[in-house]
Amino acid sequence: MSDAEPGGGNADFDLHITDTKFWNVLMDDVFGPRKGGAIIFVDAENARKGVAKTSGAVALARVIARAFRYDIQKDDMTLSGSHYLRRYQEHPGKEQPSVLVLDEFVGAGSGDARRAMSTQNVDFGRAWQLLRAKRVVTLATLPDWNEADPRLQKYADYRIWCREKPIGFFQPYKVTVPFNSSGSGAKTRTKGLSYGDETRRIAFPNMDSENDPYYSHLTERKDELIHANGWDADALEGDAEGDGEEPASPQEIERREQIKFAIRLYKPWDDDTTRSYEEVADAIMEKGDSWVGNRIREWNNGKHRDLVPGPGEE
């Protein structure tokens, strides 16, 4: 990946991404005093299709994974919001930075501003607040980041803007929330990341022509989604199904997601867990500590293992 001025064709073209301001600021987020993760939205100029957003996200994920010495897996590449949330919680803690790619963030059924009050959007908000102590870098692709739930925009750290022409370049921006724009309706802004006066473009490779296995994995999942009934990647993954014969009701889906969220957050299999029933209940908001305690005891007695398997049960 290289960095070039908008006109291209100059000596700066061979400047490696690791020499750019975007890279240095991102790495400071992870390895500096903050020691956290980052949420990166990847969208396109003029919301155009076919400008290689997925290719750019996968290429960037692989570069970041190498820098972290993280053994990236195909399971870290998904179109499903439920799969992403589960994988996010499964990722290592502070000891190991890691990477996730959530492709087609809005198009595949997650994060849509028109579904701002959906259970899953609320879960995204909770995850990105509560699990920021993890050092997970998330790359979420979508045609236009303005289509994302504004509350989720507020939790983003960076916006990667893929250029329409020439294909294979993006411009990086830092996401900011003005001081007087707090609350759920806060308006976000973006600030270009460059050592010069203009936000410089960073080149990325064509992962399709390189037959990258992670890019191919996402492409296959998208093909399956296109030919499936509906446009819900969660249903394609099986996360939104009941017993496999009849679709679960919205109430049952919400209940199952709440149980999964509570169990994964509390981690009853971990003797060193530091969260209390009260803290988990506060995160869920709609349930009390006694409800959380009952679900944890049920899990310890063998229930809900289809939702959250124990170590070695998957």
11 and 84 share one domain? yes
Cα dihedral 139→311→70→110 (10° resolution) = 0
Amino acid at position 301, single letter: N
pLDDT at 121: 60
**Could you give phi then psi for residue 3, rounded to 5 degrees?**
-120, 130
Phi, psi of 82, deg, nearest 5: -65, -40
pLDDT of residue 149: 75
Lowest mean pLDDT among 1-5, 179-183, 222-226, 264-268: 1-5
Q: Are residues 107 and 188 in the same domain?
A: yes
Indicate if 124 and 231 belong to the same structural domain: yes
Separation CA 234–CA 225 (nearest Å): 10
CA distance 230 to 237: 13
Do residues 274 and 157 share a domain? no
pLDDT tens digits, one per residue of 215-273: 998 888 877 766 655 545 555 555 444 334 444 455 676 788 788 888 988 899 988 87
Most confident of 98-107, 172-181, 201-210: 201-210
The pLDDT assigned to 133 comes to 64
Alpha-carbon distance of 77 to 166, in angstroms, equals 26
In a domain, 305, yes or no: no
Output the domain CATH number for residue 10: 3.40.50.300
In this prediction, residue 67 carries a pLDDT of: 94
> Are 201 and 283 within one domain?
no
Q: What are phi and psi of 303, to 5 degrees?
A: -85, 165
Tell me which residue range forms the domain holding 27: 2-237
Helix (H) or strand (E) segment spanning residue 140: strand 136-141
pLDDT, greater one: 256 or 116: 256
Are residues 72 and 217 part of one domain?
yes
pLDDT band with cut points at 50, 70 and 90 for residue 4? very low
**Per-residue pLDDT at 13 exceeds 90:** no
The structural domain count of the chain equals 2
Highest-confidence range of 9-13, 32-36, 88-92, 123-127, by mean pLDDT?
32-36
Note the pTM of the prediction, 2 decimals: 0.67
